[in-house]
Structure 1
Amino acid sequence: MSSLLKIRAERDQMSAIERRIADFMLENAHLLRDYSSQQLADALQISQSSVVKFSQKLGFKGYPDLKYSIGEAVARGSDVPVKATAKSARATVRESLAETLWQSKSRAEEETRLINDAGTLNEIATLLSRAGKVFCIGFGDDGLAAQAFAQRLALLGTLALHHADAVPMTANISSAERGDVLVVFSEQGQHAALNQLCRQFRERQGKVVSVTRHTSNPLRAHADATLLVSAHDERSHVQPLLYQSALQHLLDQIFVLMCDGDRLEQLNTNLEHVQHLLDPKL
């Protein structure tokens, strides 16, 4: 597991001092070999013990091991953002933008994969597969993701209900039963109405799955299982693109895990029906 990717993935869960250390390491990875733990602490105006504890929290014995791991990542070059190369300098502006965006999306998807272990994904796929009904809700861009996910579940033969409004969803939840699942999409996990829906759903002994950023937020506290997204970029117009890309990749993993046996057969049958509707000549 790349140390730089792990730092980026865990950054949202860190304290203020830890984020300062993380940001310095990410921005100056190629220079870190010249810094001792004391020099790094002096540069950031923090204690040397904070640097050591930061390294240990990431699973390393100490700062020297972390520095060595980062040095290996820099040498490989795959985990360090490429600012400029001879090839990109010769490329057209459009090609350069496309390459940079692709690299950023790839990093976001890998960071997101690192923080969602296989056990959690299997658990959520099993919950959804066994559910009598699956309710999906989200607002704004989260609502688009919720709608698309509900449609995919429907193709698998799951009774999936989607709403982008808390009021009709409240009415639907009144029909929820033990074993049903509510999937709540909220990037920041702060919306009070969604938290209220989660409480109501759990009162009916249903299971709640939250889909949020990798931050501490109220929605995660109300969930039985969580899907987490890590996607960062200083450019305000790019960061939402990275979030949606990483989120889609995460949901695709859940969908593929559910595609087995009778469900896969049902999916193929439904896809044939859809194709006939779109092209009656077939």
Structure 2
Amino acid sequence: MSCIYKIKEGRKSFTSTEKRIADYILNYRLETVEASVQDLAERTNTSAAAWIRFSKKLGYKGLTALKMDLAKNDDDNEKDELFNVLIKENDSIDVMVRKVQQISLHSIEQTYKLLNLNTLKNAIQLIIHARNIYLIGIGGSGLVCTDFMHKLTRVNHNVIYHEDPHILLARIAHMQENDVLVAISYSGETHLVNVGVEKAKELNIPIIAITQYNVRSTLSKLADINLYTPVIEKDLRLGAISSRNASLELTDLIYYGVIKENIDQAKKDLTKTRELIHEVNNK
């Protein structure tokens, strides 16, 4: 929920006016908190309405809410810059382990900073009340879909996913009222994923997106609910590890939110699943 982090992550997708506002906030945090909206507009050569729109774009109800969050960002400084650690051929096993640990911890920390609790609640409610839950993702995102499918299936939710995107698209074409689509794509520009999302949009199916923090990506624009992962992968990615872990963290949060609504029933469902699998494995 960090205001500073949201601005740093989203800056590349901002308009020129939004960048002026963003840069002023980054350079003059305390002044932003204390100044009136009219003063801020004058200092940035923008308008009061532009500041309010910018606040809402970041997920706040208005400028006052942004200022309140900004006032809490005392420890948002250089440590929030992307921690770029690459695995090198001459690294010892010890160094490699510590680097991977730092990368993983940093990825999870930044994911939580981007998390909007109201958005998460809305996603959980959509999943709970959905007739069918469709998942779509390719490659590393497909692994996240598979994991999410296994979790939800074990607590008696009807989940539809297939590793072959063409078969999955064929199923998506037949989505009906009360279904929901969860689309996972780090870039937000995965063609096959967005084809499925566009079809869901055409059918008035609610869309939950798990994607990097870029409000201008195709997926972000199409989705009804956006859960963001940090911009942590470089052009040359070592197996998309960080983005996969961040996406898994978000699907796990949805899963925990789903079972929290009726823990006793979830326990019964998990027991049934475990007993049947145990019976099969012991034959």
- Higher mean Cα deviation, 245-254 or 173-182? 173-182
Per-residue CA deviation, residues 124-171 of structure 1 (Å, 9 max, x unaligned), is 111111111111121122222112211211111011111233432233
User: Is structure 2 residue 126 aligned with structure 1 residue 127?
Assistant: yes
Compared with structure 1, are the counterparts of its residues 154 and 6 closer, same or farther at alpha carbon in structure 2 (3 Å cutoff)?
same
Residues 1:202 and 1:18: Cα distance change in structure 2 (over 3 Å):
closer
Distance 1:233 1:198, change over 3 A: closer
Structure 1 residue 115 corresponds to structure 2 residue 118: no
Q: Give the match for residue 280 of structure 2.
A: 277
**Partner-residue secondary structure (3-state), 1:163:** coil
Native 8 Å contact 2:5 2:114 kept in 1: no
Q: Displacement, 1:237?
A: 4.2
Q: Distance in 1 between matches of 2:96 and 2:5?
A: 22
Q: Can you list the C-alpha shifts for 1:166-203, whole angstroms capped at 9, x where unaligned?
A: 43223323442211011112221223333232232233
CA drift of 1:123 comes to 0.8
* 1:42-96 Cα deviation digits (max 9, x unpaired): xxxxxx969xxxxx97989xxxxx9x9988556xx9657889xxxxxxxx93223
Secondary structure of the residue that 1:268 maps to in structure 2? helix
Which residue identity does 1:252 align to in structure 2? D
Number of positions where the alignment pairs a residue of Structure 1 with one of Structure 2: 252
Please show how residues 205-220 of structure 1 align to structure 2 within 5 Å.
Answer: 205-215=204-214, 216-220=216-220
CA contact (8 A) 1:231 1:246 kept: no
For 2:97, the equivalent position in structure 1 comes to 98
Q: Distance in 1 between matches of 2:203 and 2:83?
A: 50
Of 93-102 and 156-165, more deviation after overlay is shown by: 93-102
Letter in 2 for 1:274: I
Distance 2:44 2:115 in 1: 30
Deviation at 1:269, TM superposition (A): 2.4
- Secondary structure of residue in 2 paired with 1:211: strand
Report the CA distance between 1:11 and its aligned residue.
4.5
Aligned to 2:170: 171
Which residue does 1:44 correspond to in 2?
none
Cα distance in 2 for partners of 1:8, 1:271 equals: 45
Whichever of the two has the greater Rg, that structure is 1
DSSP-derived class of the 2:240 partner: helix
TM-score (normalised: structure 1): 0.69
The aligned residue for residue 88 of structure 1 is none
Q: Closer, same or farther in 2 for the Cα pair 1:2/1:218, shift >3 Å?
A: closer
Unpaired segments ≥5 residues, structure 1: 27-31, 33-47, 51-55, 61-65, 84-91
Aligned residue runs from structure 1 range 209-248, under 5 A: 209-215=208-214, 216-232=216-232, 236-238=236-238, 240-248=240-248
| Unaligned residue ranges in structure 2 (runs of 5+) | 28-42, 46-51, 56-62, 65-69, 85-90
Match of 2:60 in 1: none
Query: Residues 200 and 206 of structure 2 are in contact (CA less than 8 Å); yes or no, is this contact kept in structure 1?
Result: yes
- On the 8 A contact 1:166/1:197 being kept in 2, the answer is no
**Which residue in the other structure is 1:257 paired with?**
257
1:185 maps to 184
Assess if the C-alpha contact under 8 Å between 2:83 and 2:106 holds in 1.
Answer: no
Q: CA deviation at 1:3?
A: 7.1
Q: Percent identity?
A: 21
Structure 1 Cα separation of the partners of residues 229 and 116 of structure 2: 12
Counterpart in 1 of 2:37? none
- Structure 1 residue 235: Cα displacement: 8.5
Per-residue CA deviations over 1:219-242 (Å, capped at 9, x if unaligned) read 222212122111425583448211
Assess if the C-alpha contact under 8 Å between 1:5 and 1:107 holds in 2: no
Q: Output the CA distance in 2 between the equivalents of 1:233 and 1:197.
A: 24
